[in-house]
Amino acid sequence: MIQDLLTRLPKAELHLHLEGAIRPETAVELAVRNGVPLGAAPQDLYVYDDLAQFLAVYGRICQAVVTADDFRRITYEMLETCARSGARHVEFFISPHAHFGIPFATQFDGIRAGIAEARADFGLTALFAPGINRELGPAAAEEYLDACLAVRCEEMVGLGLDYNEAPFPPEPFAPVFARARAAGLQVSAHAGEGGPAAYVRGSLDRLGVRRIDHGYAVVQDPDLVARCREDGVLFTCCPTTTRYTTPWRDLTAADHPIRLMREAGLAVTINSDDPPFFGTTLAREYLIAHRDLGFSLRDLGDSILTGLASCWLPEGDKARLRVEWEAEIASILAEDQTTMQTVLVSR
């Protein structure tokens, strides 16, 4: 019952990686067709227990995606899965540099086709942001931004910063982020997942982001928590990911950072990151937030509207969706209260 209700809530997915959302059977099929050895059966493909192992698998799978139609297919399938979890709007990261030798234009063409098809079939909207691989350094990031801007399309609205965080602090990327902002791109950065709270602060101060992907280490710096609350910084949190890539592996712990971030009044949204890699879905992440991390249904409804207010859609679209989603969320939450009353009366 509760899972059904959580699935039906209208949602924005704001932290998901296209290549981390490839279905294992699709990855194997594309790898065979394109002659890329993956070295594992579908059921064994997504097995690892830290970020480095995860990134190794991620890299191999990226190389299995080659043609524009491959990119169309993985985009469409990812959005189909999101739609099944109640997503109405999706903002996702891509790693075009990880597909060695495949022109960015080919990749973008396929992704756009996948978005258009999913919009027609499922009625959802989607935007994307190339993520900078911080491990490659700022000079490579400058070239990467140039390559992305050269094939920029209307769905490419942002720039992210991802891959292994420590020991790659955000500050060296300040010039490339300044250039991206000047070009009219929205910006966000992965910070405080494997790195310290100082990387969250550095991303805000030097990269000019107002959206932090993960951000869990913020709880170790009370002054920074207060600042983020006052400034309305948005944290795109991914509960299940914390079990694999962070020190906070017990989602039911009283000191789990997502729980503490919510209790501290930070703007937190629930997202799925790399769902099949971590054996999850967006709707399941909402269940985990409710069951393990102390989010009431009302908290989840508020979190959805907070995420919508800070997402990268045009302001007019956001205002229209807010009216629709507010009414829909209220109606779904009232349904839960009706159910609760029925249960109480029948006892």
d(CA 244, CA 46): 12
Structure tokens at 16: 């998901």
The CB-of-165 to Zn ion minimum distance in angstroms stands at 10
d(CA 52, CA 335): 44
Q: Buried b vs exposed e over 19-48: b needs ≥16 C-beta within 10 Å?
A: bbbbbbebbbebbeeeebebebeeeebbeb
Residues labelled catalytic: 193
The CB-of-93 to Zn ion minimum distance in angstroms stands at 7
d(CA 265, CA 299): 11
Residue closer to Zn ion, measured from CB, 273 or 285: 273
Residue closer to Zn ion, measured from CB, 77 or 273: 273
d(CA 287, CA 246): 20
Residue closer to Zn ion, measured from CB, 195 or 301: 195
Stretch that binds Zn ion, among 22-30, 48-56, 268-276, 313-321 (CB under 5 A): 268-276
Residue type for 185, please?
A: L
DSSP helix/strand/coil, 247: coil
Structure tokens at 201: 């602060």
Residue closer to Zn ion, measured from CB, 284 or 321: 284
Stretch that binds Zn ion, among 40-48, 114-122, 266-274, 289-297 (CB under 5 A): 266-274
DSSP helix/strand/coil, 100: coil
**Looking at beta carbons, which residue is closest to Zn ion?**
273
Q: Buried b vs exposed e over 52-66: b needs ≥16 C-beta within 10 Å?
A: eebbebbebbbbbbb
The CB-of-330 to Zn ion minimum distance in angstroms stands at 31
Binders of Zn ion in range 83-112 (CB under 5 A): none
Site string for Zn ion, 119-158 (x = CB under 5 A): ----------------------------------------
The CB-of-16 to Zn ion minimum distance in angstroms stands at 8
Count of other CB atoms within 10 angstroms of residue 174: 16
Stretch that binds Zn ion, among 40-48, 176-184, 247-255, 272-280 (CB under 5 A): 272-280
Stretch that binds Zn ion, among 150-158, 216-224, 265-273, 303-311 (CB under 5 A): 265-273
The CB-of-166 to Zn ion minimum distance in angstroms stands at 15
DSSP helix/strand/coil, 103: coil
Residue closer to Zn ion, measured from CB, 311 or 321: 311
Q: In the complex, which residues of this chain contact Zn ion (CB under 5 A)?
A: 273
